[in-house]
Structure 1
């Protein structure tokens, strides 16, 4: 964990390979988990949704299904029966001008506002309190049936009346005392949230989720993590203080990095982070994948590149696709890419090979804590899949839109610029009020323009009896120019 210059960065390594990276600074902080008292701006029955003003300048989006509880991630035992009989019409729950308590479940991404839910979840170390639902759940990542039943019984003992409790993955092996202290703390927190909400007018932030540092210690530092290294003495001591109360057996795994190196450089993480923004990712075999992200979906193309194989074409294609499937799963997790994902593997004419590649992809995705769903291969040979989108992709955090290409990744060609200059010159020549035309361009562009069109410029100048000057200016980008007449 690197804490310096007002920014927190957390890298997760598996076998010395970077698999996850988290960043939080003064700007662009995630609002996932925050609870707001919002004001319903408008209700859209045709979309089954409502826009909620939360006071951030961009309205949150609330689907009707986010007014209803989602139990899909947990093995849940409900105390109130099925929700299938409830109305699915958003207008039956909300109306314009109404105040509503909501929690953010997805950050605003691009032009889209944050996504919200009315079903608040308050996470603790071992359990999650669901104040607006009434059921008991256990994380699906806990697979041992005997342990699941034990945890359900413990949860039933500590569950507040008319509230829900979910035992988290970190709760595996915990005691009744562990769960009880978690739920007591979360119940007090919920009472404070309600008290603050009652005294506040919408729109207003009621509860801000913990910072990245505390979320990492609370949610990610479990017995599955071998070591937590922190380069900030103050936060190292804070981590020990928290862990001594929640999981004292993990204290020996926390260490303070006091070397005279940058911690990410020491562990060779910095160079790996820089590769996250690259569109092309090379495979060890010599093949490569190309990742193109848009607001609507992410397209991934697989190529053999330098890999020529050793047996035959079918074997070469299969090996490249298998290696690519593993790398794609890793990159989705590392870059935090969510939403719709289309993968163009190299064409395979063998159904068994296609099934094998899909199986490798699904198995590789099991390491990812974000839910994903591989839908299969289309008739065009494209693999369709989805991955839960919660926060912005890492590339959005690490990069800004290029002021020169406006995010296209390309600039105007010289021929296009020359044509634009010609158009501006001709337009200026017909203006009788001026006696000269000055075009300011980058020196390199100006030299090439005059080398190519110098004779034409001289001819136009004599014909219209006007001075036409191409003036070099190093402050002007190579794909721009300025006209003075």
Structure 2
């Protein structure tokens, strides 16, 4: 399956779109003022230890303290002092307040949660991931051939210096890498680690010791593969930087890099801007006429499948199956586009036919297999729902590009004007019992005042007569429908 990578660069942000067979499959956005910190290595300071939840809060210099759970504290995999199945010590016996600790971010801050940390350091290269604390060599599970796995392991071991103390994870892209390429990558990674160690001994915490590569550079390192035919960059300066980076670390992809010089903006040319707008919409239309409703909240994401205008040509079962089958592929693509993570509940249209259910579930798993992020999918539950999880490492597209509505405060709906009218009437009655005012002035949005002047005028008059007080009305255009003020005169 052929793949194109489009990189749009402006002084304020970098955007990357992965296009397969003419369809946008992934979007990545990095802003200069809020660069993600996954992969960054810090010298942090323990500010609080919480034995009750076996966690600690670490100051790494960000706005919020980062979070370290006891399960993310590194233990030697091979050590005479630690039995293989020895239980983890409680966190209060491992770290203490005020202690300096080298940590790496494994999850960006999300919503109100701080970054999640690990004390196991890993530094990613093009073909290898360096594990300076572990004398261990692991092979990517995506290299399935046992013979090739052993061949890659042998090439790596033969290229390493005799006194090598660290370990490595061999990435999928290293399947056909030569010993020289593996050696160059390992040498580069060991130099980075040496620099980190030196800096850690020279500066007080909290301090950034190592910053992960920029998005444009990570694209070359992590996303380019044999299926990638074209990498277009609309910034001359960035394209030159990437060519230099590629020549140094991955010369085979240099020919795929091109500086885009067309008159139309790169993302407009490939219709990416429209796809971004669609990825922010709650509703996603299917080609058949059905549609999805995607609701994202703090606890989970819920996806509802509907037939919409699709009536099929044969019978109801066939219509439902075709809608669900198309939805399965679209759901997998939307999860990647929107970068939705955590718990995801999919409510497919009910299917009585077990063969249809199996086919839809198989299509969903096949579509999800293209995802670079780890996913787990369960079978249909007794309620006909599919439960799945997708690892959450950074903010979703909606959280990155949007903010809660100032009118509804993120609820997705507002009180009707009539409801607000009744709230105001109750509030005036309550205040009349507390304060001896001569007049109550209602200041509200135009829609609310209109109701008081028309349909609710009788209720307003009844309240005024009951209190023996004047009630006046005033429109305030700056107030939204739910907001109002009651002024006592």
Q: Report the TM-score range of the alignment, normalised by the length of the smaller protein.
A: over 0.9
CA–CA distance in 2 between the matches of 1:462 and 1:355? 68
8 A contact 2:239–2:258 mirrored in 1: yes
Gaps of 5+ in 1: 71-77
SS state at 1:27 partner: helix
Conserved? CA contact 1:80–1:134, under 8 Å: no
1:284 has 2:304 as partner: no
Give, in whole Å, the separation in 1 of the partners of 2:188 and 2:16.
Answer: 27
Partner of 1:363: 366
Matched, 1:28 2:34: yes
**Cα distance in structure 2, aligned partners of 1:111 and 1:462:** 49
Q: Which residue of 2 aligns with 1:423?
A: 426
Per the TM alignment, residue 269 of structure 1 is displaced from its structure 2 partner at its CA by 0.6
Does structure 1 retain, via aligned residues, the 8 Å contact 2:425–2:463? no
2: distance between equivalents of 1:133 and 1:423? 68
**Match runs of 1:108-257 below 5 Å:** 108-159=109-160, 161-257=164-260
The question of whether the paired residues in 2 share the 8 Å contact of 1:292 and 1:300 is answered with yes
Q: Is 1:136–1:155's contact at 8 Å kept on the other side of the alignment?
A: no
Counterpart of 2:351?
348
Query: Partners in 1 of 2:138 and 2:96 — Cα distance?
Result: 32
Distance 1:184 1:461, change over 3 A: same
Shift of residue 123 of structure 1? 0.9
Counterpart of 2:90 in structure 1 is: 90
Q: Give 1:18 deviation, angstroms.
A: 0.9
Q: Please show how residues 320-335 of structure 1 align to structure 2 within 5 Å.
A: 320-335=323-338
Change (3 A) 1:98 1:87: farther
* 1:336 counterpart = 2:342: no
Give the whole-Å Cα distance in 2 for the aligned partners of 1:351 and 1:373: 21
What is the match of residue 409 of structure 1?
Answer: 412
Residue matched to 2:3: none
Greater shift in the superposed pair: 169-178 or 323-332:
169-178
2:46 alignment partner, one of 13, 17, 40: 40
Pair 1:450-2:456 in alignment: no
**Whole-angstrom distance in 1 between the partners of 2:23 and 2:397:** 17
Distance, in Å, in 1 between the alignment partners of 2:438 and 2:43 is 64
Partner Cα distance (2:466, 2:44) in 1: 68
Structure 1 stretch displaced more, 283-292 or 37-46: 37-46
Q: 1-side partners of 2:265 and 2:239: how far apart?
A: 16
Shift of 1:184: 0.9
State the shift of 1:98 in Å.
Answer: 2.3
**Alignment correspondent of 1:73:** none
**Which of 445-454 and 362-371 deviates more?**
445-454
1:452 aligns to what SS in structure 2? coil
Which sits farther off after the overlay, 371-380 or 142-151? Answer: 142-151
Measure, in 2, the Cα distance between the counterparts of 1:69 and 1:333. 33
Specify the SS of the correspondent of 2:485.
Answer: strand
Segments of structure 2 that go 5 or more residues without pairing to the other structure are: 1-6
Flag the 1:324–1:432 CA change in 2: closer, same or farther, 3 A.
Answer: closer
Q: What's the TM-score, normalizing by structure 2?
A: 0.92
Question: Displacement of 1:444 after TM fit?
Answer: 3.1
* Shift in alpha-carbon separation, 1:158–1:289, aligned structure 2, 3 A: same
Q: Matched residues in 2 for 1:309 and 1:90: separation?
A: 60
Residue from 60, 64, 73 that aligns with 2:66: 60
Name the structure 2 match of 1:259: 262
- Separation in 1, partners of 2:355, 2:403: 43
3-state SS in 2 of match to 1:108: coil
When residues 395 and 474 of structure 1 are mapped into structure 2, their CA distance, relative to the original with a 3 A threshold, is same
Indicate the SS of the match to 1:226: strand
Structure 1 stretches of 4+ with a deviation exceeding 6 A read 78-83
Mapped to 2, the partners of 1:230 and 1:162 lie a distance apart of 39
The number of residue pairs the alignment matches comes to 478
| Shift in Å, 1:192 | 0.9
Superposition deviation, residue 105 in structure 1: 0.6
